[in-house]
């Protein structure tokens, strides 16, 4: 008995020592429910996402490039399921600098400026306001703010006029009463990339103060040594935790890169740098730009995009945790080396609240659904909704390629595999072409038109007709069916020799050759169909390889074009569009 009393303290001491030697857990997350979520959490093109928490609500925004309204605002209660609640801007501010094919008379966004516009926003909550900062590489750094993220945001403020600045992120340091902003650079505009700068900013977030401090430059390894070459470092997200300032950045390129963290006890550096997430052998390419957020139960999560080819850049959710020496780790760190790997599935962060992204629309509201965007700054005369129908007037010529027409009402492809069916009621089709499109750098469409007294339905690639047939009736249904699959991982196409290219040109048509996406997988194929009763559908034209856009994924479009611009414009009504995700 006496021996047991003597051994008991020794046993307790041994357990304490063993506990102290135990390895850091891979991820510190409690099981809040028994459900498992599956990545991607959003199979639609929300590029460069950033996320914040306010109370028990989560808000996300993303790049919108040349699409308007821009800066989509999404809301979630569980970090897995999201819905659109608004947009940060209704019109894209004019550019201020020329760039290659963009001359002085092409600085507006009144026509599609493919691959330009709103780049990589950062969303923050500060002093009772929601703030969004973003970069237009042909204008500079802008910001908007509001008290209601689902409501109206203030007019964009140009914080700094600059060419080639992208990916800004602000921070307000309450300990010092100073604000700062970090950003990256677009090599296409200024010949600079792989460089991160930090500025002091006024508290109101309306202008920068003093001069920039370069806190990292991948091309200056003597001053900024790293364990690996951090090429194309960009996508900055500025935050503070405890006494440390952190700048989270992707590096290595969009498709095949990794996540990096910089940290310092001074916002202007010097900064240490470390890789905190990489694909390894997961088959999940490029855990790219995103935002780190602490849930209301004290756990950490990271939402980022993955480039997957034609569909664009889809959103994934990763568990995150902090090491004992205050470095973030994104994903699951299976070998305890401080570098996480992205997950395919994981325990849900919070009890599920089944929000759903909007797709289908019966046009019963007085305004367009939040899922709809135009490829240029919209005008009031471009559409109206009357008696539960969308009415599009024919304001532009049918001789234009649809990817260059500003008045095409679009929304993102919602998945790799889906059908979208639009019903078009009785209308006067004489002198008009109207229908459904698959939009990217090149467009495919199925459309109705009346030639003399004959109704025709045809499929086009650009302005080239690939198939056509006569059709009778008063109500018509047009459909796009798609099929594709998530690449694991994404791969580039195999480069063809000159001889192989010539052989392909001899046996294939333009629609099979021109402006194909760069990837050998992540491809989506499309097939158009039509019906006169909404039940029995007939294929029209060949199956085709869908094209993605410039920095954006493929999109669905509704259009109405004028065949004879010398006559007053007609109009076409659309009754509904229904999406079926397979």
Looking at residue 29, its pLDDT comes to 67
Relative to beta strand 178-185, strand 195-201 is: antiparallel
Exposure of 30 by Cβ count < 10 A (0-12 exposed, 13-18 middle, 19+ buried)?
Answer: exposed
Q: What does the alpha-carbon distance between residue 428 and residue 555 come to, in Å, rounded to a whole number?
A: 27
Structure tokens that stand for 351 in this block: 């009890």
200 catalytic residue (yes or no): no
Class of domain 42-347: mainly beta
281 catalytic residue (yes or no): no
Q: What does the alpha-carbon distance between residue 417 and residue 447 come to, in Å, rounded to a whole number?
A: 22
- Asked whether 479 and 531 are in contact (CB, 8 A), the reply is yes
Which of 45, 136, 234, 299 is flagged as catalytic? 234
What are residue 447's phi and psi, to 5 degrees? Answer: -145, 155
Looking at residue 102, its pLDDT comes to 83
Residue closest to 306 by CA, chosen among 285, 328, 321, 324: 285
- Asked whether 440 and 446 are in contact (CB, 8 A), the reply is no
In the three-class reduction of DSSP (H, G, I as helix; E, B as strand; rest coil), residue 2 is classed as helix
Sorted by where each begins, the domain ranges of the chain are 42-347, 380-581
Q: What does the alpha-carbon distance between residue 450 and residue 467 come to, in Å, rounded to a whole number?
A: 16
CB within 8 Å of 365: residues ≥ 6 apart: 385
Which of 48, 167, 333, 517 is flagged as catalytic? 48
Q: What does the alpha-carbon distance between residue 156 and residue 146 come to, in Å, rounded to a whole number?
A: 11
Q: What residues does 540 pair with on adjacent strands?
A: 528
**If one looks up domain 380-581 in CATH, what number appears?**
2.60.120.200
What are residue 431's phi and psi, to 5 degrees? Answer: 80, 10
pTM value?
Answer: 0.93
| Lookup result for tokens 């599920």 | 352
Measured CA to CA in angstroms, residue 37 lies from 80, 302, 348 at distances of 7, 14, 5
What string of pLDDT tens digits covers the 582 residues of the chain? 444 444 444 444 444 333 333 333 344 565 555 699 999 999 999 999 999 999 999 999 999 999 999 999 999 999 999 999 999 999 999 999 988 778 888 899 999 999 999 999 999 999 999 999 999 999 999 999 999 999 999 999 999 999 999 999 999 999 999 999 999 999 999 889 899 999 999 999 999 999 999 999 999 999 999 988 998 999 999 999 999 999 999 999 999 999 999 999 999 999 999 999 999 999 999 899 999 999 999 999 999 999 999 999 999 999 999 999 999 999 999 999 999 999 999 999 999 999 999 999 999 999 999 999 999 999 999 999 999 999 999 999 989 999 999 999 999 999 999 999 999 988 888 899 999 999 999 999 999 999 888 999 999 999 999 999 999 999 999 999 999 999 999 999 988 898 988 999 999 999 999 999 988 899 999 999 999 999 999 999 999 999 999 999 999 999 999 987 777 889 999 999 999 999
Structure tokens that stand for 498 in this block: 């000159």
Structure tokens that stand for 345 in this block: 């599935």
CB atoms closer than 10 angstroms to residue 255: 21
| Lookup result for tokens 């959710």 | 317
Give a three-class secondary structure readout of 92-156: CCCCCCCECCECHHHCCCCCCCCCCCEEEEEEEEECCEEEEEEEECCCEEEEEEECCCCCCCCCC
Q: Is the peptide bond before 270 cis (omega within 30 degrees of 0)?
A: yes
């Amino acid at each position: 008995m006496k021996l047991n009393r003597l051994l008991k303290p020794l046993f307790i001491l041994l357990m304490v020592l063993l506990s102290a030697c135990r390895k850091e857990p891979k991820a510190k997350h409690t099981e809040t429910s028994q459900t498992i979520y599956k990545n991607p959490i959003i199979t639609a093109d929300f590029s460069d996402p950033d996320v914040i928490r306010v109370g028990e609500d989560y808000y996300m925004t993303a790049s919108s490039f040349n699409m308007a309204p821009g800066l989509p605002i999404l809301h979630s209660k569980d970090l897995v399921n999201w819905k659109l609640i608004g947009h940060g801007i209704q019109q894209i501010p004019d550019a201020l600098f020329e760039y290659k094919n963009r001359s002085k008379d092409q600085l507006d966004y009144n026509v599609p400026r493919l691959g330009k516009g709103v780049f990589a926003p950062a969303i923050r909550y500060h002093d009772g306001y929601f703030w969004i900062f973003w970069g237009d590489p042909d204008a500079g750094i802008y910001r908007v703010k509001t008290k209601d993220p689902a409501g109206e945001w203030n007019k964009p403020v140009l914080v700094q006029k600059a060419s080639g600045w992208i990916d800004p992120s602000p921070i307000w340091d309450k300990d010092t009463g100073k604000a700062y902003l970090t950003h990256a650079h677009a090599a296409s505009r200024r010949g600079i990339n792989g460089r991160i700068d930090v500025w002091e900013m006024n508290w109101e977030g309306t202008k920068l103060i003093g001069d920039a401090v370069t806190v990292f430059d991948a091309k200056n390894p003597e001053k900024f040594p790293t364990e690996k070459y951090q090429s194309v470092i960009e996508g900055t997200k500025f935050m503070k935790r405890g006494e440390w300032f952190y700048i989270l950045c992707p590096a290595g390129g969009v498709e095949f890169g990794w996540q990096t963290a910089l940290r310092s006890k001074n916002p202007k550096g010097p900064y240490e740098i470390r890789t905190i997430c990489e694909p390894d052998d997961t088959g999940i390419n490029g855990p790219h730009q995103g935002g780190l957020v602490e849930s209301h139960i004290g756990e950490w999560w990271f939402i980022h995009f993955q480039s997957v080819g034609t569909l664009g850049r889809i959103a994934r959710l990763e568990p995150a945790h902090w090491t004992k020496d205050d470095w973030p780790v994104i994903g699951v760190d299976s070998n305890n080396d401080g570098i996480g790997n992205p997950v395919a599935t994981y325990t849900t962060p919070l009890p599920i609240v089944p929000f759903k992204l909007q797709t289908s629309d019966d046009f019963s509201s007085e305004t367009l659904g939040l899922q709809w965007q135009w490829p240029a700054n919209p005008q009031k005369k471009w559409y109206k909704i009357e008696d539960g129908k969308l009415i599009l007037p024919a304001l532009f010529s049918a001789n234009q390629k649809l990817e260059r027409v500003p008045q095409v009402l679009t929304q993102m492809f919602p998945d790799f595999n889906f059908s979208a069916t639009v019903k078009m009621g009785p209308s006067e089709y004489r002198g008009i072409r109207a229908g459904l499109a698959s939009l990217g750098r090149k467009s495919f469409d199925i459309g109705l038109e009346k030639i003399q007294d004959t109704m025709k339905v045809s499929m086009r690639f650009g302005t080239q007709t690939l198939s056509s047939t006569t059709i009778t009736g008063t109500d018509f249904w047009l459909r796009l069916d798609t099929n594709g699959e998530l690449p694991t991982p994404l791969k580039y196409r195999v480069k063809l020799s000159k001889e192989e290219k010539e052989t392909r040109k001899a046996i294939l048509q333009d629609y099979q050759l021109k402006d194909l996406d760069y990837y050998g997988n992540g491809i989506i194929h499309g097939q158009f169909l039509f019906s006169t009763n909404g039940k029995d559908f007939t294929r029209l034209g060949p199956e085709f390889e869908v094209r993605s856009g410039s920095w954006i994924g493929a999109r669905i479009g509704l259009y109405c074009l004028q065949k004879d611009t010398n006559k007053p414009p007609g109009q076409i009504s659309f009754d509904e569009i229904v999406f079926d995700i397979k």
